[in-house]
Structure 1
């Protein structure tokens, strides 16, 4: 970890030099509670949820408004927060301290620590790549709450994997931070400008990682889905849209297009060394059977795939994630035909899944390869299924 990482610096400057101090302030305590009297009988007041916590309001249940955590949230072991009020606004302005004495943000402390020591290492195959990604992500998160919430969401999902006995708790925490992030970043995307483009790009990338970390979803196969384009693909292509909407000069030197650092070569791989012959046969088949209007686009998709294989198994690039450059470079027409389950794009996509299989070295990609291959197999007409036998064998997926 780099020495100047915001996570490891002391929180001494005016804005707080840690991810933890960048969190949104908690609401101040409510007062004015008491008992109600009817006739001569004293009875416990009926507390309505008008001023209840966010979780109780969303579940439409009564909240006892306990601080720092209500009884319902304590029982469910989830983070308890209250909606903003005038006292909160004053606290955000620095006029009052919104926390009760001794009230520490334990959840954020845990997430910050796990991010700094473990989760951030998920982004690269090499320490140098980890340090670079960590520094860039934290630099933007210090100034943009939506990036910070996405870091917390991703880390919470990692903790759900590491500590399965508390999976429900961490998943709920991830959902909370993810929803907060979306609420904050959506208006930023709508008003993209040179001032916010770095942060928006970082958030869109993090949303893709969070989508992976949630695990395979029924009917969604990354590049296509049964009920329309998958949410992941919409966000992934959003990276391309974000970069294309502004001149690259508007992005900082650390976040702009084509600034991904060259990593060390990947370790020796027992990769499919027969891939050159296989992809050449695939290209010949695609050229022969494609409709004239689609031939150039289909052939180009195979040629880009050959380049991705060469990068991975030919030792030309230092990171696993470069494989997704294939989906990034596909035309909208190709992706539309893939969404319509056109057999040829599906066959080509199945050969891409072999590259994706390598990414299962990372916790957030576990299970995706077989899930996507099963979706492709199911969508292909029976007369085309034989053309994906090689990628099926390479990833170890057997048809039911």
Structure 2
């Protein structure tokens, strides 16, 4: 027999007691509901999330050091950060947490493999040049970590061009490595010496490649921009600064041969129709319209540009960067006037774009010629645009 509770004993209950009991019961019930509402656990809402998940517009669980999505896809997550106890060096010559201890960095293995088997071969038209870039990972990259990071950034951009469906992912990886390297390179460039000149010389070249590979951007036209001097031009001129400030003998064995090297000729390209006549007329126009202060610099710019044409289409010079020797040899005053969008430097820059167009066989130069030509056309006053008709027609760009 079930035992009765002592609370169930029969006792007389008055009407007033009954009403009080009902009221107390309702009060307790309401308190229970209120208590339930107050103590109910709410779900976490957050607008945070790693960059990769935001880019792909998927929910991020925000697990650190790697969110679940990045871990599953084996890509670097924003939440990965170096331990606060790890000492770092801005020069990039010490282990500053690039690698997570005890973890297999699949993305970096992928980038290393792709650099050595594919990307390095796109940096030169010659097998010997490709071998030079391939060996730099060991010769320089392992000593100067900003070189290694820029190699990874450039390789990630190469993968982005090869795998458009994963472009956002690889672009994010490239940005992380590029930003990490830039501060170290800038510091070493300002404090260049015998021990770091090799690494800086390679890195400033890689920065130029990375900026090409990032694809054309509105307002950035390599040698000039709508918002001040371009980052690309600063680093491109940095190569000249290094070579002028240091004797070739001060470079270590990995770089001195490259500085002295005479490259093999490229395959002969088709000579642009009528370029000699065009340069004759261009020289006369520049001579007639230049002011006394700029006359000699402008004529020199025309002569050097014509020399670049003759060397390229005559088969004498033979590497990708020979096309850019014109910008390399220009004086700072001329480049400053180009930055200020002076008509004559812009006209000459449009003729330089014809040489640049020949480089579009490299994946990282795709689209740059037409982009630069569009910037020149927009910057030139209408009365000067007739002087860029020939380069426009030669590269196949049509004004809007």
Alpha-carbon distance in structure 1 between the residues aligned to 2:45 and 2:377: 55
Candidates 71, 81, 84, aligned match of 2:82: 84
Number of corresponding residues: 349
Q: Deviations over 1:197-240 (max 9, x none)?
A: 11011111111100000011111111111111111111111111
Alpha-carbon distance in structure 2 between the residues aligned to 1:287 and 1:93: 55
Runs of 5+ consecutive residues of structure 2 not aligned to the other structure? 1-38, 54-58, 88-94
Partner of 1:241: 241
Q: Deviations over 1:76-119 (max 9, x none)?
A: 87412532226767xx699xx922xxx42110111111111111
Runs of 4+ in structure 1 deviating by more than 4 angstroms, as ranges, are: 41-48, 52-56, 61-64, 74-78, 86-89
Partner of 1:22: none
Q: Is the 8 A contact 2:220 2:226 kept in 1?
A: yes
1:121, CA displacement in angstroms?
A: 0.9
CA gap 1:70/1:140 in 2 versus in 1, 3 angstroms: same
Q: Is the 8 A contact 1:47 1:64 kept in 2?
A: no
Partner of 1:70: 67
CA gap 1:198/1:93 in 2 versus in 1, 3 angstroms: closer
Does 2:335 match 1:348?
no
Alpha-carbon distance in structure 2 between the residues aligned to 1:86 and 1:386: 60
CA gap 1:389/1:111 in 2 versus in 1, 3 angstroms: same
Alignment of 1:12-161 (within 5 A): 64-66=62-64, 69-71=66-68, 73-74=70-71, 78-80=75-77, 82-85=80-83, 98-99=101-102, 103-136=103-136, 138-161=138-161
Alpha-carbon distance in structure 1 between the residues aligned to 2:278 and 2:50: 58
Alpha-carbon distance in structure 2 between the residues aligned to 1:384 and 1:188: 42
Q: Is the 8 A contact 2:74 2:107 kept in 1?
A: no
Q: Deviations over 1:45-75 (max 9, x none)?
A: 9899xxx98989xxxx9974346x2236458
Please state whether the residue corresponding to 2:283 is helix, strand or coil. helix
Q: Deviations over 1:326-356 (max 9, x none)?
A: 1011111101111111111111111000000
CA gap 1:364/1:266 in 2 versus in 1, 3 angstroms: same
Q: Is the 8 A contact 2:204 2:235 kept in 1?
A: yes
1:268, CA displacement in angstroms?
A: 2.8
CA RMSD of aligned residues (A): 3.2
Q: Which moved more, 1:151-160 or 1:286-295?
A: 286-295
Q: Return the structure number with greater helix share.
A: 2
Runs of 5+ consecutive residues of structure 1 not aligned to the other structure? 1-40
Alpha-carbon distance in structure 1 between the residues aligned to 2:333 and 2:397: 29
Alpha-carbon distance in structure 1 between the residues aligned to 2:96 and 2:346: 54
